[in-house]
Amino acid sequence: MASVALGLGSNIGDRVARCRQALCELAGNGAIRIVRRSSWYETRPVGHAGQSDFANGAALLETTLAPVRLLETLKDVEMRMGRSVTWEKGPREIDLDLLLYDDLVLGRPGLDIPHPAMAQRAFVLVPLTEISPNLVHPVHGRTVSDLLDDLKPVDHLVRYLAAP
């Protein structure tokens, strides 16, 4: 089984309910097991300020799916949940990001592992640090907790919203 870190987000409708629903959808897949999930955090949008704030969280998964197949599964869940195409970094019903897959470093069209911007994003690092502070970023060679410390303070960007 591979260990995976997943980022979740939504800024349309009942944001937390959508993120929780996505985890339920994934848990219904026999090849995926949810190991741990974070609290939910309200975060400011990146890139386009003229949209609603996001609910973001993270989850640790175990899976027998290969990275490309897992990504396809994530995209399928997004589609079934009504994700529409707006603009890059625009509003999203649900967003599922494959952050880490074991200690794999992979760069191919449509799939970069680790997620290329995760080390600079408080909305990723805050929930990930909550559930696995010693998780090591395979490119930077540092824990997610240390990467978050580099970004602090983040309370103007991220605030606690709801329990897991």
Which tens digits make up the pLDDT trace of 108-122? Answer: 999 999 999 999 999
Residue 63 CB coordination number (10 Å): 20
Residue 58 CB coordination number (10 Å): 30
Residue 53 CB coordination number (10 Å): 14
Active site includes 92?
A: yes
Active-site entry in 95, 108, 146, 149: 95
- pLDDT reported for residue 49: 66
pLDDT surpasses 70 at 90: no
pLDDT surpasses 60 at 87: no
What phi and psi values does residue 144 have, to the nearest 5 degrees?
A: -65, -30
- pLDDT reported for residue 89: 63
pTM of structure: 0.93
Active-site entry in 18, 37, 83, 121: 83
pLDDT surpasses 60 at 104: yes
Burial 138-155 (b: 16+ CB within 10 A, else e): eeeeebbebbbeeeeebe
- pLDDT reported for residue 50: 74
Active-site entry in 15, 20, 97, 121: 97
For the chain, what is the mean pLDDT? 92
Q: Which residue has the higher pLDDT, 164 or 143?
A: 143
Active-site entry in 80, 92, 108, 159: 92
Query: Residues 26-77: pLDDT tens digits?
Result: 999 999 999 999 999 999 887 666 788 999 999 999 999 999 999 999 999 9
pLDDT > 70: percent of the chain: 94
pLDDT surpasses 90 at 158: no
Active site includes 97?
A: yes
Residue 112 host element (H or E)? strand 111-113
